[in-house]
Chains A and B, each alone.
Chain A
Amino acid sequence: MSDAAVMDHASRANSLTEPLRRPGTLVVIEGGDRSGRSTQIQLLARWFERQDIAFILTDWSTSPHISKAIHKAKSEGALRPITYSLFYATDFADRVANVIVPALERGEVVLADRYIYTAFARDAARGANPTWLQALYGFAPEPDVVFYLRVPPAVTLSREPSLPTKALDQYEFGLDLGLSSDPARSFKLYQQEVFDEFERLSSEYAFVVMDGEQNVDTIHRSLRDVVKDMI
């Protein structure tokens, strides 16, 4: 399928969800597990509060109906890759319609803790066709900026000392992929796959790349400087 065709899908799907006018600002922060993403989100949210900037925070997999079902399925250890992928897409679609688009229409800042790129990276590691994924997520409003907290897997691994203890953890360790029966080795392989995919996405979607190994405050200031100019 050509790029033009993918765009065509996106615009057709968009007609359902995307408003014609969009006064708000969509700020996305991406980064692998333990990249310091949550910390940066919190700092940015506090800064918005201090500046009296109207904003909302939306986290990955938090729609009221769907996220509960995902959580249940994961804790039963029963999610197959394609079900996993579509379940997360459902959750995302729900948040786009009920949280993200309304806030953008109200002119607020939407601070998104992960976005479609997380799905792209994780699903690609699980065998999904990238063209299919892009068209599937064609309804997503385009972010004004995507920050990517880049931390190489070697560093992430040193920040991850524990092994999976609950059925829930097995997805983070990529154990559903059958890459290795050894959790530590599986985690390493899976995180590497996801990291490689993020590297690819980073240039394709022009992420603002932040060195995730820098000091927390330094990163926060850089994020703030970019966001300030946008609002």
Chain B
Amino acid sequence: MSVSAWPLSRLDPLEPAAWPRHAFPGRLIVVDGVDGSGRATQLDLLETWLRVDGYGVVRTVWNSSKLVAKTITEARRQQTLTPLTYSILHATDVAERQEAEILPALRAGYVVLADRYVFTAFARDIARGVGRDWLYNLYGFALRPDLAIYLRIGAEASMARVMGVAGEASAHEADENAAVRGAIGSFRQFQERVIEEYDKLVDPFDLLPLDATMPIRTQQLRMRLWVKTLLEASGGDDE
């Protein structure tokens, strides 16, 4: 049979810590964390630094595959999907991007920078009530990252940043409107649950937590140190 078997990575729900590593020449570096944790800012800086250093870099962003992203956006607007359906749909996006973007780049020796990865799905979906084992199995096809940085921030701080960026009512202003306050309150509760779930992923998946409230430059320097260690450990002989 000419078809290559999948899942190729075999993330075993019963033993997530034993998730095997890939053998491709490239490196998969993940920056994960809730909205407002500063992922994009840090990834921009990291990407520029890597490019200046001569590395070929490919960026891949959560929910961005041509085939799936539009369906997700549409479904979210109509709010008809259950958490389980939503979960599989997001996995479809990850699978499609893995096949179309991540794998070809890793085979060709690129550094792949992923803005969010399976940990986003784990934290969010479990917070929505999807079973952990079922979810880990679902993502059994996903490659284990070589480095996964978790930008850690509290619910309050992340929400303040998101609302500030969006130029919408600040949490303080929203206090004047009971309905908005209610929505913000339940969103905060959800966000807290998501962050709780992220924290639970640190140990089994070797996430490197980074305090996202530190100055941008401080975070970036720490990240560069981790990335440099990884890249120099793996095939630095032709540099």
Contact = CB atoms under 8 A, between A and B. Distances in A.
A128 interface: yes
User: Which of B82, B85, B141 has the most chain A CB within a 10 Å cutoff?
Assistant: B85
A86 B14 contact: no
User: Which of A78, A94, A178 has the most chain B CB within a 10 Å cutoff?
Assistant: A94
Interface string B83-107: 1110011011001101110000000
Interface of A: 1, 5, 8-10, 12-13, 15-17, 64-66, 69, 73, 78-83, 86-87, 89-90, 93-94, 97-98, 125-129, 132, 135-136, 138-139, 177-179
Contacts of B140: 129, 132
B130 A16 contact: yes
B180 to A, nearest CB: 29
Nearest to B82: A97
B99 A16 contact: no
Contact of B82 (A1, A15, A16, A136): A16
19 contacts: A9-B13, A12-B133, A65-B74, A65-B78, A66-B85, A73-B67, A80-B100, A82-B95, A82-B98, A82-B141, A86-B95, A89-B92, A93-B82, A93-B88, A126-B3, A127-B1, A127-B4, A127-B5, A138-B134
Closest 4 CB pairs of A and B: A12-B131, A127-B3, A86-B92, A13-B134
Main secondary structure of the interface of B (DSSP, over half): helix
Contact of B99 (A12, A15, A82): A82
Contacts of B132: 12
Given A90-B92, A128-B6, A135-B133, 14 more contacts: A9-B131, A9-B133, A12-B132, A12-B134, A16-B83, A66-B85, A69-B68, A80-B99, A82-B99, A83-B96, A89-B92, A127-B6, A132-B137, A138-B134
A197 B138 CA distance: 22
A1 B12 contact: yes
A201 B143 CA distance: 29
Nearest to B2: A178
Nearest to B83: A16
A90 B134 contact: no
Contacts of A82: 6-7, 95-96, 98-99, 141
Contact of B84 (A13, A79, A83): A13
B89 A139 contact: no
A90 B80 CA distance: 13
B222 interface: no
Nearest to A16: B84
Interface string B51-82: 00000000000000001101100110010111
B137 A98 contact: no
Nearest to A123: B6
A127 B5 CA distance: 4
Nearest to B100: A80
A125 B100 CA distance: 21
Contacts of B88: 86, 89-90, 93, 136
A97 B85 contact: yes
A129 B6 contact: yes
A203 to B, nearest CB: 22
A13 B3 contact: no
Contacts of A9: 13, 131, 133-134, 137
Nearest to A10: B134
Interface string B26-46: 000000000000000000000
